[in-house]
Chain A
């Protein structure tokens, strides 16, 4: 399965987290695009499909993502 998440459409995943919480295969993960530095907090979190091999093709993510930011092929 090829799974992609469009960061611009997704916005801030930490405000939502539905994909991180509900994907039955636990495919997704999140990280800050701007790294932590001394005095600077992590920013610009993005969601990625970290373990696409675990995708079962249930397509639940397409249903629960409120922004339709996920595509599965």
Chain B
């Protein structure tokens, strides 16, 4: 289990503990104001902070110190975890209110309105209704509708993740590819960690894999390799984030997810 499961999971995976979605938690600790400010000026603040970090990369001692401080703050305020589709569906079943919103990262990195994010909790429509950039596209989703959309995102290779708004309150589900700022900072550039890997790791069933290599096209983490000699795909457990998206294109259902905690020495 990840460190949040131990701290906030009440014996379960932390994102399956009802407490972390509760209205009491949502109403506390200025979470409403935090989310409002987050959505009002995400692009500007993110661009400034990231440029500041990027500028000191060449000074290792300073960079390491600033990076550690930034990660400590992120952990307390806005941290994510990759979650495979089955667990996201369970999360959706636990919610009273789901709204679809435009992705803040894709606005920052691509300058486009792309509605891939889900806000969870009753406060979102009230917060975002005031902002014309969001109010025109806010869409309240039913549970089945939300699950259908999530499955269609899964088919397209988008990785699901949950995000806290002042940890441990979970206020959003993201569906990301390489336009995600967390991906660019954590996976692409190694600037800092912002998400935990999933509670799972992908495994290829040797007997079922035909070596078609379709799974290779979907992995965002460079975790899937292919051996011409063996005519099989392989998953490197050290690189795998456990998102399970590769399963969507496997005609033989040769990839399964195994609990990460059953492996020794794998990072979260």
A32 to B111, CA, bound (A): 10
Contact between A37 and B40 (Cβ–Cβ < 8 Å)?
A: yes
B188 interfacial by beta-carbon distance below 8 Å: yes
The answer to whether A21 and B131 have CB atoms under 8 Å apart is no
CB neighbors of A among B50-67 (8 A) = 50-51, 54-55, 57
Chain A residues with CB under 8 A of B57: 53
In the assembly, what is the distance between CA of A21 and CA of B131, in Å? 27
B40, A20: Cβ atoms closer than 8 Å: no
Q: Mark B28-71, 1 if CB is under 8 A from A, else 0.
A: 00000000000111011011001100110100000000000000
Interface string of A38-62 (1 = CB under 8 A from B): 1111100100111111100000000
Chain A positions within 8 Å of B188 at CB level = 26, 54
Interface assignment of A17: CB less than 8 Å from any CB of chain B: yes
Min CB distance A54 to B, Å, is 6
B130 touching A29 by the CB < 8 A rule?
no
Expressed in whole angstroms, the minimum distance between the Cβ of B132 and any Cβ of chain A is 4
A29 vs B109: C-alpha distance in the bound complex, in angstroms?
Answer: 5
Q: Kindly state the separation between the CA atoms of A36 and B120 in the bound complex, as whole angstroms.
A: 22
Q: Are A38 and B109 in contact (CB under 8 A)?
A: no
Interface positions, chain A 1-46, Cβ under 8 Å from B, are 13-14, 17, 20-21, 26, 29-33, 35-42, 45
Are B51 and A49 in contact (CB-based, < 8 A)? yes
- Given the interface pairs A17-B110, A38-B130, the reply to whether A54 lies near B189 with Cβ below 8 Å is yes
User: In the docked arrangement, what's the CA distance between A14 and B44, Å?
Assistant: 15
Contact assessment for A30 and B108 in the assembled complex, using a CB-CB cutoff below 8 Å: yes
Total A-B pairs in contact (CB under 8 Å)?
A: 74
Chain A residues closer than 8 Å to B133, beta-carbon distance: 36, 41-42
Q: Which residue of B lies closest to A35 (CB)?
A: B41
Report yes or no: B51 in contact with A13, Cβ–Cβ below 8 A. no
Q: Does B258 contact A (CB under 8 A)?
A: no
Given the contacts A35-B40, A50-B54, A26 and B184 also touching, CB distance less than 8 Å: yes
Task: Determine how close the nearest CB of chain B comes to the CB of A55; give it in whole angstroms.
Answer: 10
Contacts of B44 in A (CB 8 A): 31-33, 35
Asked if residues B54 and A53 are in contact (CB atoms below 8 Å), the reply is yes
Given contact pairs A50-B50, A50-B54, A30 touches B40 in the complex (Cβ within 8 A) = no
In the assembled complex, the Cα of A51 lies from the Cα of B49 at a distance in Å of 11
Contact present for A36 and B41 (CB under 8 Å): yes
Cβ A48 vs Cβ B41 within 8 A = no
B residues with a Cβ closer than 8 A to A are 39-41, 43-44, 46-47, 50-51, 54-55, 57, 107-112, 130-133, 178, 184, 188-189
Between A and B, 9 residue pairs with Cβ closer than 8 Å are A20-B109, A29-B50, A29-B108, A30-B111, A37-B40, A39-B131, A48-B47, A48-B51, A50-B47
Taking A48-B51, A52-B51 as known contacts, 7 extra A-B pairs with beta carbons closer than 8 A to each other, sorted by chain A number, are: A17-B112, A36-B131, A36-B133, A38-B131, A51-B54, A51-B189, A53-B54
